[in-house]
Structure 1
Amino acid sequence: MTNIQIFFPAIYLVALTFVLAAAMARGRLRAVYNRAVDPAYYLLQRNGAEPDQLRQMSRHYSNLFELPVTFYLLVVIAAVTQAADGVLLALCWGFAALRTLHALIHTGSNHLKYRMYAFMGGFVILALAWMYLTYRLLTLA
């Protein structure tokens, strides 16, 4: 494994973020065009509300700047310290896959039980990745 490969799951997650941002923008423009939302709502997000499906998309987009931030930090630390290996790469791809599943559920059916399982699975995998990275750094020091 090359050290560069650890960036691929992060690049994938960034691409997912851009895809969801584009879908959210398209939905917002459509809602304004169809007069389902007053354009003034987007100034401060008050004095009105988005349709539920659009609100789900907006909320999920915000989620992509919460837990994944610690994932991006992990990837950078692993690459810079050359601590990345096949185990860490697999954990990173596992996190990216579960974030994708979480996105599909949250922006689709929004079934709370399945969404929670996807989120918690990603959370556990990310926690394991941090523990593993810490172990690798301690043994490389």
Structure 2
Amino acid sequence: MQISIYLLLAALFLQTLLTLTIMVIMGKRRFKAVREKQIQFDQFKTMALDNGPEEVILASRNFTNQFEIPVLFFVVSLTALAMKLVTLWFSTFALLFVISRIAHTYVHIGSNHLRTRFRLYLVGCIFIILQWITLILTLI
């Protein structure tokens, strides 16, 4: 198997691992908030957590984020794999996308500095676009 395929699979795995890690962080923050009576357990029936602590809201929002732009990453990556069009550039852009998502998550659930978070979001979007461009250019 080519190194580019290994790199792409590593990127796919890391993005999945990031999502699962955020799920665990979100769960811990939610349980802590319930234990400390910052939110009521019944609020989870409708997920009405808007009055919860900021750290709970940020982790929940970041978990939701993992099913937005990363979906485009999975689509383009799996398309390239299925069509056997994975190149080293494609895989590099995939890894850079995941690194940008890890950095975005770190900022989002940490300092939540909006300018930095937005820039990291844009960088990730650029890497998705570059993946698509690479795929199309490889195809023609």
Q: Indicate the SS of the match to 2:41.
A: coil
Segment drifting more, 40-49 vs 62-71: 40-49
Residue identity opposite 2:27 in structure 1: A
Question: For structure 1, which runs of at least 5 residues remain unmatched after alignment?
Answer: none
**The one of 59, 62, 83 aligned to 1:60:** 62
1:18-77 deviation per Cα after TM superposition (whole angstroms, max 9, x unaligned): 011001001111111111101111110238622011101100110000000010011111
Counterpart of 1:7?
9
Q: TM-score, normalised by structure 2?
A: 0.93
Structure 2 CA distance, aligned partners of 1:96 and 1:12?
7
Counterpart of 1:30?
32
- Answering whether residue 7 of structure 2 is matched by residue 21 of structure 1, we say no
**The one of 91, 94, 100 aligned to 1:92:** 94
Residue identity opposite 1:20 in structure 2: I
Residue identity opposite 2:89 in structure 1: V
Structure 1 CA distance, aligned partners of 2:87 and 2:49?
51
Residue identity opposite 1:114 in structure 2: T
How large is the Cα RMSD of the aligned pairs?
A: 1.4
Structure 2 CA distance, aligned partners of 1:9 and 1:47?
32
Residue identity opposite 1:43 in structure 2: K
- Answering whether residue 53 of structure 2 is matched by residue 51 of structure 1, we say yes
Structure 2 CA distance, aligned partners of 1:9 and 1:109?
25
Deviation at 1:132, TM superposition (A): 1.0
CA contact (8 A) 2:22 2:59 kept: yes
Q: TM-score, normalised by structure 1?
A: 0.93
Structure 1 CA distance, aligned partners of 2:29 and 2:48?
18
CA contact (8 A) 2:34 2:40 kept: yes
**The one of 65, 81, 97 aligned to 1:79:** 81
**The one of 97, 103, 106 aligned to 1:104:** 106
Residue identity opposite 1:72 in structure 2: F
Structure 1 CA distance, aligned partners of 2:127 and 2:15?
15
Structure 1 CA distance, aligned partners of 2:48 and 2:30?
15
The verdict on how the C-alpha distance between 1:137 and 1:48 changes in structure 2, with shifts beyond 3 A counting, is: closer
